[in-house]
Amino acid sequence: MGPVNERLDFDALAAANRRDTWFLMFGFFCLLAIVSVTVSTVLQAGVIGVVFALLFSGGSSIMGYTQSDKLAIKSTGAVPASQEEFGQLHNIVEALSIAAGIPKPRVYIVHDESPNAFATGKNPENAAVAATTGLLAKMNRDELEGVMAHELAHIRNLDIRVMTVAVATAGTIAIIVDVFWRMLYFGGGGRGRGRGNDDNNPMAIIGLVVIAILAPIAAAMLKAAVSRRREALADATAVAITRYPAGLRMALEKLDADRTVVRRTSHATSHLWIETPDDHQNGKRGKKFNDMFDTHPPLATRINTLRAMEGLPPYEG
């Protein structure tokens, strides 16, 4: 394996992605604060309402964080990979874990013909990686090393922790919006408290528009933006682990060419995979709008970043 071409400094790329991720996370909590204050104002709940919303968000994040690995494994149908049957996968994960400076995670298999992989876990000491049988069948050793290095990079960079907070916060905002809508519909927002009918209350109308329409959209966009940054960071970290961008680059090119789709997945776990599981089902209609909610950068963009590291011409697909 030759040295990484220095045309693109992946250390600088990683640092920039970390800064952008924490900036986006700050935006998440600002959005949650705005939602909480607006709901409390419209429903006349005062400081108690704001505190309750923030405590609810914190509780949701903690619960999601502690159960994230179990939920991901169960929802994807992953099963433990036996050492006898999947010895090469275990060897690759063990060697890369040593290179990454983290404990070897638990190794799982998803029986699916579509090539894909994901990582999950609370921290490096309690983590797991999973690969589909399709990935093992379609990738050579260098490509499989690139994919698994990407997944181990998520573990080393504590991406699961960051994304758990992002997903839980977005979910909390959606729940608060739903409760807000129901309370307004069934007579909340100060009705019957001597302040007149809320149908004529400008604050209630503004709050309804901001909370019920704009907040969930903004939360979904922020969640997707955080996820895209973590994916780009994992690509850069994978190169730092293997010192061989060609392995991951060739794997992503194969993923881009493959048209199969993971059967057992959902929007709740789509951010975990190395490639969005339903990526090849997206049509051209409304593509620009849908791209704002994608949890992964376009494969072509990721491939071209890696090709720049090797001094290769742009990817044409």
Active site residues: 151
Question: How many Cα atoms are found within 13 Å in the side-chain-facing hemisphere of 237?
Answer: 28
Nearest residue to 268 (alpha-carbon basis) of 300, 311, 220: 220
The Cα angle at residue 266 between residues 317 and 252, in degrees rounded to 5 = 25
Q: How many CA atoms lie within 13 A of 282 on its CB side?
A: 14
Write the Ramachandran bin of 281: left for phi over 0, alpha for psi from -120 to 50, otherwise beta: alpha
Q: Are strands 79-80 and 117-123 parallel, antiparallel or unpaired?
A: unpaired
- In order, the DSSP letters of 268-285 are TTGGGBSS-TTGGG--ST
Q: Output DSSP code: residue 200.
A: G
